[in-house]
Structure 1
Amino acid sequence: MQKKDIGLGILIIVVGAIVYMRNPLFLSPINLGNTANLIGLFGLFAIGQGFVIMTGGIDLSVGSVIALLGVLFVDMVGKFGVPWPIAVAITVGLGVLIGLAHGILITRFKLQPFVVTLCGLLIYRGIARGYTAESTAGFPFGSSYPQLEWLTIGRSFGVPHSFLAMLIVAAIMWVVLHHTVFGRHLCAVGKNEEAARFSGINTRFVTITAYVICAVLASIAAIYFAMFTKSVQPSSHGNFYELYAIAAAVLGGCSLRGGEGSVIGIVLGAVLLQELQNLVNLLGIPSSLNFAVMGTVILLGVLADQQFATYRNRKNTERALGLLQKQ
C-alpha cells in the first residue's frame, strides 16, 4: 500500500505543478484555503466509505444521510433552539442508528449492501424532502453561533478547521486500521468472509462496525456542511457525494473487491479529486464536465486496481512455481 500512496502523492504534485503553470492563482492563499476546506469536508466521509469498501461492501446513501442529518441539525439549532452540543450529539447518535440499521440488514437479513444503501439513498432523501415540504432549511437571518462556527468554519493559522478535523479523524482511523485487531479483522473479512468466520472472527460485528463508522463520519460531515452552506436544500444538498467518496477510496488504493485499503491513500484520493475540481475551475473548463471528470477518475481507478491485481497474482504464481522447481 505504501507504493500506491507514494505514487498518488507524486501524481498530486505533478497535477498541481501543471495547474500552477497554467494559472498561478492555484497557489494563492485564498485558493489553497478554500481547497483545504473542501478536502476536509469531503475527506471526512470518504474515510468512512473506505472502511465499508474494505469489507467488500459499499454505501450509496452517504449523500442522502448528509442531506437528512443536515436538515435536522439546522432545524434543531436554528428553529428549535437546541443547544449546539446537544444537537451535535443527537446528529451523531442518528448516524450511529443509521449505520446499525445498514449493518444489521446486511449481516442478519443477508441483503446486498448495494440494495440496502440504495434504498437508504431514496428513503433518507425522501424523508428530508417530506419533512421540509421541499423548502430550504436555514438558520434564522442574523443568527450567530460563535463557538460552533469557530469549530466548523473557523481557521487556525490560516488552516480551515474542517481540514484539521479530517486530519484528526484520519489519524485515529489510521491507528484503528493498521494497529488494532479490528483493523486486521476488517481486512480479513474483505478478503474472504467465510474463511474469516471459520477462523473465529466475528464477521457480523466487523461489518456492522464498518457501516456505523461510515454513517458516523457522514453525520459529522453533515454538521460541517450545514455550517459551511448555512442552509440545506434537501432536493440537491449532498447529491452524488457518495460518488466522491467512492472515487477517493478507489484512488486511494481501496479495492472494490474488499480486503485492501489505506487511510493515507483515501486522504490523498480526496486531495486529488479536489485538485481536479480546482483545475476545472481555474482553467475555465465548463463546470458541467465535473461529473465526466468524476466518472473518468473512477473508471481509471478501477482499471488500475484490476491491472495491479492481475500483475500481483501473476507474480505470486511465478514465485510459487519457482519455489516448487527449486525443491
Structure 2
Amino acid sequence: MENNIKIKPEAHSYSLKNFMSDFGIIIVFFLFCIILAIINPYFLKPRNLINVLRQISINGLLSIGMTFVILTGGIDLSVGSMLAFSGVIAASFVSPAFGGSIHSVPLAIIFSLCAGIGMGAFNGILIAKWKVPPFVATLGMLSIARGVTFIYSNGMPIPNIDTRFLFIGQGEFCGIPFPVLIFAIVFCISWVVLYKTRFGRYVYAVGGNEKSAKISGVNTRLIIFITYVISGLLSSLGGLILTARTTAGLPQAGVSYELDAIAAVVIGGTSLSGGQGDLVGTLFGALIMGVINNGLDLMGVSSYYQQVIKGSIIIGAILLDSLRKERE
C-alpha cells in the first residue's frame, strides 16, 4: 500500500541565511566598532562617541526621509542642497549681520521647515504628477536649491547667530544631546507611520508594484508626493541642526550628504527598486556610516580617499542587493 503521507518542513525552521538577514547589519556595526577601537582606543572615549552621535543625527534624519522615497522606488539627490538652503534661511532670521532679530528664533524654525517642505513638494509634483524620472527631477532640484542658496546668502556664510538658536545643535536635554533626541523622536514617529498606519502599507505597495497598487484603489500619486515632502521636511530639520552646530549658515553645507544618506539606506537593506526595506536597517546603516567617517578621521585619512571609500561602499551594497534578488 502506497504511503501518501507527506512530511511538511518545520514552520519555524531558522537558517543561517535568515539569521544574517535579520541581524547581519547589527553584527557588521559592532564589528566595525571593535576594529576601530583596536586601531585607535580614542574611538571609545565618551566625548568621541557623543560627537559621533551628533554627526549621525543629521545623516540619520536625511536617511529616514530617503528611506520613504526609496521604498516607493524613487530617489532624492537634492537632500544636501535642501539642507543648505533651509540652513541659510534659518540663519538669516537670527543673525543681526543679515538683518535678523534675536527675537526671531521661532520664525527661523518655521520658515526653514517650510522651505524644506516646499522644495520637497516641488519634487513630488514633478515626479508624481508630471512623471519626471526621480533621478532627473531631484538632480535638477540639487542644482536649483544650491544656486538659490548662494544667491540668497550672496555666496557668503551668515554668522553671528543668536545663542538661543544654537541650542538646537549644541544643547542637551537630561544629558542627551538635543540633535540625538530630535533624531530619536523622528525615528520613533517614522516607525509608527511606516508600520502602523495605512499610509505606511501603501508606501510598500507602491514600491512593490505601482500599477497593482493603483488598481487596488491606492492613490499612488499622493503617496509618492507625500514621501518627497517628508524628505524635504527632514532635510530642513537637518539643516537647522547643522546651522546651529556650526554657528553659521553655510551656503556650501550639505555637499555630498545625499551619498551618505543613500549609502545608509542601501547598507541597511532597503532595495533601490522599492518595496523592500525597513527603518531599523536604515538606523544601523547610518550608524555604520557615522562610525566609518569618524574612524577615517581618527586615522587621518584624507577626505579625497574618504569619498572613494564611501562610493565603493555604495557600489558594494548595491551589488549585494542585486545578488540577493537573483537568489530569491
TM-score by length of 1: 0.90
Asked whether 1:310 is paired with 2:326, we answer yes
CA deviation map 1:217-260 (0-9, x unaligned): 001111001001112331x2110011111111111111110111
Asked whether 1:263 is paired with 2:265, we answer no
User: Aligned ranges for residues 24-173 of structure 1 at < 5 Å?
Assistant: 24-78=41-95, 79-81=99-101, 83-139=104-160, 143-145=162-164, 148-173=165-190
The amino acid that maps onto 1:200 is G
CA deviation map 1:95-126 (0-9, x unaligned): 22212111111121111111111110111111
**Which residue in the other structure is 1:193 paired with?**
210
- SS at structure 2 position matched to 1:254: coil
**Which residue in the other structure is 2:15 paired with?**
none
CA gap 1:151/1:227 in 2 versus in 1, 3 angstroms: closer
The amino acid that maps onto 2:163 is S
Give the whole-Å Cα distance in 2 for the aligned partners of 1:4 and 1:162: 30
Give the whole-Å Cα distance in 1 for the aligned partners of 2:168 and 2:144: 30
Segments of 4+ moved more than 6 angstroms: none
The amino acid that maps onto 1:302 is I
- SS at structure 1 position matched to 2:156: coil
Give the whole-Å Cα distance in 1 for the aligned partners of 2:175 and 2:277: 31
Asked whether 1:210 is paired with 2:230, we answer no
Count of residue correspondences:
307
Identity %: 37
Kept in 2: contact 1:5–1:268 (CA 8 A): no
Give the whole-Å Cα distance in 1 for the aligned partners of 2:22 and 2:67: 15
**Which residue in the other structure is 2:14 paired with?**
none
Kept in 2: contact 1:69–1:219 (CA 8 A): yes
**Which 10-residue stretch deviates more, 116-125 or 275-284?**
275-284
Give the whole-Å Cα distance in 1 for the aligned partners of 2:201 and 2:120: 21
Asked whether 1:284 is paired with 2:300, we answer yes
Asked whether 1:244 is paired with 2:265, we answer no
CA gap 1:122/1:296 in 2 versus in 1, 3 angstroms: same
Give the whole-Å Cα distance in 2 for the aligned partners of 1:152 and 1:286: 26
Identify, as 1 or 2, the structure richer in helix: 1
Kept in 1: contact 2:25–2:284 (CA 8 A): yes
Unaligned segments of structure 1, at least 5 residues = 313-327
- SS at structure 2 position matched to 1:137: coil
Give the whole-Å Cα distance in 2 for the aligned partners of 1:258 and 1:180: 18
Give the whole-Å Cα distance in 2 for the aligned partners of 1:197 and 1:114: 22
CA deviation map 1:252-299 (0-9, x unaligned): 111110111211111111100011111212223233211011101101
Give the whole-Å Cα distance in 1 for the aligned partners of 2:240 and 2:279: 22
Kept in 1: contact 2:166–2:247 (CA 8 A): no
Give the whole-Å Cα distance in 2 for the aligned partners of 1:228 and 1:2: 39
Give the whole-Å Cα distance in 1 for the aligned partners of 2:69 and 2:160: 33
Kept in 1: contact 2:71–2:275 (CA 8 A): yes
Give the whole-Å Cα distance in 1 for the aligned partners of 2:293 and 2:34: 15
- SS at structure 1 position matched to 2:166: helix
The amino acid that maps onto 1:289 is Y
Give the whole-Å Cα distance in 1 for the aligned partners of 2:142 and 2:86: 13
Kept in 2: contact 1:33–1:158 (CA 8 A): no
Unaligned segments of structure 2, at least 5 residues = 1-17
TM-score by length of 2: 0.90
- SS at structure 1 position matched to 2:94: helix
CA offset at residue 151 of structure 1? 3.7
CA deviation map 1:151-204 (0-9, x unaligned): 432124543211121111111111111111111110110111111101110101
**Which residue in the other structure is 2:5 paired with?**
none
- SS at structure 2 position matched to 1:152: helix
CA offset at residue 303 of structure 1? 0.8
The amino acid that maps onto 2:223 is V
The amino acid that maps onto 1:135 is M
